[in-house]
């Protein structure tokens, strides 16, 4: 049985092997530019954001500033991290979808079910990313609120960790599933049916995303790893009504 770590390590070796590595450099360059622009923006505004949040604390809670300040800081770092992740994936989605297609051809010897050309696939990939955002952002907002509710906020770090793993599993495993005409709802159902494989894969990808700069070079391997996970864990699952049945390979 293919585990998540093995899929990621094999995927990383695969995308940098001759034949596939030429499809990796453009998304890396794109993400590098986005990271540089966003990092410069965040560093220039971070202090003002923190001061603005602290300014909203009532005077009678000044004695708790030693505790409130680090909580604000942690929350702001988490929000910035998620913003970085969502924006970079939104921009890189067309390239990652194309990379997932090439990896599937290399691994299985057959193309995915999707027969769209690159331009239409790129446009549709952006639309799919917006669907993901519509799913992720409301849940992210609920978690943010929970982080400030007394008692409930004690379990907030665990909820954030699970949410991060689930979110990044959705983000990456959706590339090969979208290429194989699996609807977003059916994709979530399949991921839920293999919950441990899904969360372990998403957990490893979460760790990768927290590695500064190195993540730019490792995330294409996560795309390839998602293809391997799709082929081993999710392809054979029965589709929901109205979804095409993928061929057995």
- The answer to whether residue 247 sits within a structural domain is no
- The answer to whether residue 108 sits within a structural domain is yes
pLDDT digits (tens, 9 = 90+) for 39-77: 788 778 777 766 776 666 666 666 666 666 676 677 667
Question: What is the end-to-end Cα distance of the chain in Å, rounded?
Answer: 16
- The answer to whether residue 81 sits within a structural domain is yes
- The answer to whether residue 59 sits within a structural domain is no
- The answer to whether residue 60 sits within a structural domain is no
Give the span between the Cα atoms of 105 and 113, in whole angstroms.
Answer: 11
- The answer to whether residue 164 sits within a structural domain is yes
Q: What is the pTM of this model?
A: 0.78
- The answer to whether residue 200 sits within a structural domain is yes
pLDDT digits (tens, 9 = 90+) for 6-18: 999 999 999 998 8
Nearest alpha carbon to residue 235 among 185, 171, 179, 196? 179
Counting the structural domains of the chain, the total is 1
pLDDT digits (tens, 9 = 90+) for 192-233: 999 999 999 999 998 988 887 778 888 899 999 999 999 999
- The answer to whether residue 230 sits within a structural domain is yes
Give the span between the Cα atoms of 160 and 237, in whole angstroms.
Answer: 28
């Amino acid at each position: 049985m293919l585990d998540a770590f093995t899929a990621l390590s094999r995927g990383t070796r695969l995308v940098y092997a001759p034949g596939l590595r030429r499809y990796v450099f453009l998304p890396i360059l794109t993400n590098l530019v986005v990271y540089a622009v966003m990092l410069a923006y965040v560093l220039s505004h971070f202090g003002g954001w923190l001061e603005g949040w602290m300014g909203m604390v009532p005077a009678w809670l000044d004695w708790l500033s030693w505790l409130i300040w680090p909580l604000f800081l942690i929350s702001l770092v988490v929000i910035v991290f998620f913003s970085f992740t969502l924006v970079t994936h939104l921009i890189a989605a067309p390239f990652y979808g194309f990379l997932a297609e090439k990896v599937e051809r290399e691994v299985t010897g057959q193309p995915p079910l999707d027969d769209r050309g690159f331009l239409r696939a790129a446009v549709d990939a952006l639309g799919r990313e917006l669907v993901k955002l519509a799913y992720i952002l409301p849940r992210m907002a609920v978690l943010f609120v929970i982080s400030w509710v007394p008692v409930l906020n004690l379990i907030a770090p665990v909820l954030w960790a699970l949410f991060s793993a689930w979110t990044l599993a959705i983000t990456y495993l959706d590339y090969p599933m979208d290429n194989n005409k699996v609807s977003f709802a059916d994709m979530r159902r399949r991921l839920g049916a293999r919950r441990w494989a899904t969360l372990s894969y998403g957990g490893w990808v979460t760790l990768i995303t927290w590695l500064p700069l190195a993540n730019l070079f490792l995330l294409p391997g996560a795309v390839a790893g998602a293809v391997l996970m799709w082929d081993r864990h999710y392809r054979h699952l029965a589709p929901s009504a109205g979804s095409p049945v993928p061929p057995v390979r």
